[in-house]
Structure 1
Amino acid sequence: MPMRLLTAITPHGYGHAAQALVVLEALCARRPDLELHIATTVPEAFLRSRLDHPFHYHMRATDFGLKMSSALEIDLPASAEAYAAQARMWDSLLEAETAFLDALRPDLLLADVPYLPLAAAQRTGVPAVALCSLNWADIHSHYFHDRPEAGQVRERLLAAYNSARVFLAPEPHMPMPDLVNLRTIGPLARTGANRRATIDARLGLAPDDRLVLIALGGVQGRLPMERWPRTPGLHWLVREDWRVERPDCHAIESLQMPFTDILTSCDALLGKIGYGSVTECAVNTTPMLYIPRADWPEEPYLAGWLERHGIIARVEQQQVETGDLAARVEQMLRCPRPSAPLADGAEEAAGFLLR
């Protein structure tokens, strides 16, 4: 009998999906008969671009992570109110998620890392595994501990997370001392192929030109590149929908390559600190320029890990506003590239899921 797996993914950017998909890829290689269902509002096209195994897409999400006012700024009032509204509707939301699981009847649930599916799985007796480098109970407490509903929210979320058979935390991860089922596994990351010669030919770049990929982790928003000065020999790869009309800017989509191949082929990545960006830069030895996220509690752990396993440099918001980045890029690229860490977390996680 094929195993039916439901994977529920937080749609806060693409980072949670990227983590889960690396694990699903390893799992499907071991179990090609797997009947896979994915529930999220992360675009289906993104999921299919990173996973060859067939799956059923359920466009639904029970959580949101945090509401964002830009690619780097959290809308704290909107986030607080959304959690408060969810707390008021908890019973009905849990009933709806329980009905969804009852109808689908999965053999196993994997959650990265929405809590309502885990609570529903406990109700229905479906074995469940949580997977993430953070949890939303700790994130909520960090920002909203003084809200009147904070205690109730934390209690419910932690109960859901602790109901899982195991909470797999890939390195690097936040400390999560209130999880009784925490198990650290190796990093989750894809290894890309260096296709720089093909990219240079396609974009008309010279062999000594610098090419920097700009990626903000799937969160809506853009950088004010129209204000940036042009630097001879420095080119940028940006999303096509940014509509940047400059000869030194090129659309990522025009390359028609897997994202990790593009990351591996570039001289550096410019973006915010996020799990996927950090681990894939380390594994593919791509230097990272990062834009700090104000008071993001995961950032010290991710940035500290990349300092030990890769090349990382901070750029200030003012530099991003004015485009004063060329000297920082060159300084970073003079650093010797360290050896890549082993990304063995996917195989560890796949083993847990099969057991």
Structure 2
Amino acid sequence: MSRPTLYIAITNHGFGHAVRISSVANLVQKMCPDVLLIMVTTAPRWLLESYISGDFIYRPRAFDVGVIQSDSITMDKQTTLEKLQEIRHKERSIIAGEVNFIKQNRVDLLLADIPPIAAKIAQAADIHGWMMGNFGWDFIYRSWGGEFLEIADWIGEFFAQCKRLFRLPLHEPMSIFPNILDVGLTGGTPRYEPEEIKAKFDIHSDQEKTVLLTFGGLGLDQIPYQNLARFPDWKFLTLDSNTPELPNLINVTKEAEKIDKNLPRIRPVDLMPICSRVVSKPGYSTFAEALRLEIPIISLVREGFGESKFLLEGIQDYSYHQILPPTEFFDGDWEFLRQPLQAPRKSEKLDKNGTEAIAQAVVDYLQ
């Protein structure tokens, strides 16, 4: 008997897609220990390893570009368009190469988040192709108009071939998909007890005055760290790579390396339980992990990216929150931290079991 084999294709954009599908992959592996995971992405291997505890095959391939960005907010539409046209030009050879790989490795199921071409790869390889997501790239590009309209149509044709979409909360309609199954929030689960994290990083501030600053895999240029001096008895935690040395700012990644080089990589979700709020930009994975743990969210507004509207609506509906105009974050004095949070508009909570629901469906199919 060959091992059940799951091929996972991940959008080549930021870290969020890799985080949420790796949470699913990790649970599939726990539920079905003999599964062979093939992670197909250009997301860094360390990121996948911080969510997947067992072994997997890493196949670095890019099937889409998402949006080319210099940081988590600044978009380069022209380069994005050029890269998309390049992929469109190579479409046939990309599909042929992957079909060959899938057949050689006897892949049983393809799960994607959410490179459009993956649906066509699965169809050409004659296996089931499933997807998970809260938006499709056709939706993002269509709102940009011009030459992106043709790209959106091209992508829509792929999505229309998807056998099943697990539609996550905070979503656009995604009506191009023929078979939609709504599921709950996805994300990782904290690896440490709150007291353990506080002891490791010598954090003595109370939760009310402990804040996580997290801006996705690309970070943000020009965070006004000088404002932290106005909050001397607060603690600010970050996983960003470039931070100044400040008495009340803990760069968790750097500190963790000093404590123990073999420590599993600390992730935002590991820090959230000791914080009173998460300061972020609109991003599904950060929002979903905070919503799962019921940690309030302070988010910047992000213009020109269609998904943002649904994400910001979502936290206003389901989370204690604040929504910040960029000027208040970049040019203000961060007085917003002392302001009361807005209560969620809705009393019901979102289902938190999306990771479990998708993993269960995958395992049921493989077995």
Q: TM-score, normalised by structure 2?
A: 0.87
In 2, the alpha carbon distance for the partners of 1:77 and 1:182 equals 32
Q: Which residue number in structure 2 is paired with residue 217 of structure 1?
A: 216
Q: Which residue number in structure 2 is paired with residue 175 of structure 1?
A: 173
For structure 2, the residue ranges without an aligned partner over 5 or more in a row are: 257-262
Q: Which residue number in structure 2 is paired with residue 330 of structure 1?
A: 338
Q: Which residue number in structure 1 is paired with residue 260 of structure 2?
A: none
In 2, the alpha carbon distance for the partners of 1:329 and 1:242 equals 22
In 2, the alpha carbon distance for the partners of 1:206 and 1:123 equals 56
1:5-20 equivalent positions in 2, closer than 5 A:
5-20=6-21
Distance 1:249 1:280, change over 3 A: same
Partners of 2:208 and 2:275 within 8 A in 1: no
In 1, the alpha carbon distance for the partners of 2:92 and 2:207 equals 60
Q: Which residue number in structure 1 is paired with residue 352 of structure 2?
A: 343
Q: Which residue number in structure 1 is paired with residue 330 of structure 2?
A: 321
1:128-277 equivalent positions in 2, closer than 5 A:
128-143=129-144, 145-147=145-147, 150-151=149-150, 153-192=151-190, 195-201=193-199, 202-207=201-206, 210-230=209-229, 231-239=231-239, 241-253=241-253, 254-255=255-256, 257-277=266-286
For structure 1, the residue ranges without an aligned partner over 5 or more in a row are: none
In 1, the alpha carbon distance for the partners of 2:328 and 2:109 equals 47
Task: Give the partner amino acid of 1:329.
Answer: L
Secondary structure of 1:241's match?
coil
Q: How far off its partner does 1:112 sit?
A: 0.6
Partners of 1:73 and 1:294 within 8 A in 2: no
CA RMSD of aligned residues (A): 2.5
Q: How far off its partner does 1:111 sit?
A: 0.7
Deviations 1:194-219 (A, max 9, x none): 74444444335343771211111112
Deviations 1:254-302 (A, max 9, x none): 2554431201211211111111111111111111111111122112222
Q: How many residues align?
A: 351
Distance 1:229 1:250, change over 3 A: closer
In 2, the alpha carbon distance for the partners of 1:78 and 1:182 equals 32
Q: How far off its partner does 1:89 sit?
A: 2.9
Partners of 2:211 and 2:278 within 8 A in 1: yes
Partners of 1:18 and 1:276 within 8 A in 2: yes
Secondary structure of 2:177's match?
coil
Q: Which residue number in structure 1 is paired with residue 90 of structure 2?
A: 89
Match of 2:293 among 252, 268, 284: 284
**2:304 pairs with 1:304:** no
In 2, the alpha carbon distance for the partners of 1:293 and 1:160 equals 27
Query: What fraction of aligned residue pairs are identical, expressed as a percent?
Result: 22
Q: How far off its partner does 1:174 sit?
A: 1.2
Moved more, 200-209 or 282-291: 200-209
Q: How far off its partner does 1:318 sit?
A: 1.8
Q: How far off its partner does 1:38 sit?
A: 0.4
Q: Which residue number in structure 1 is paired with residue 125 of structure 2?
A: 124
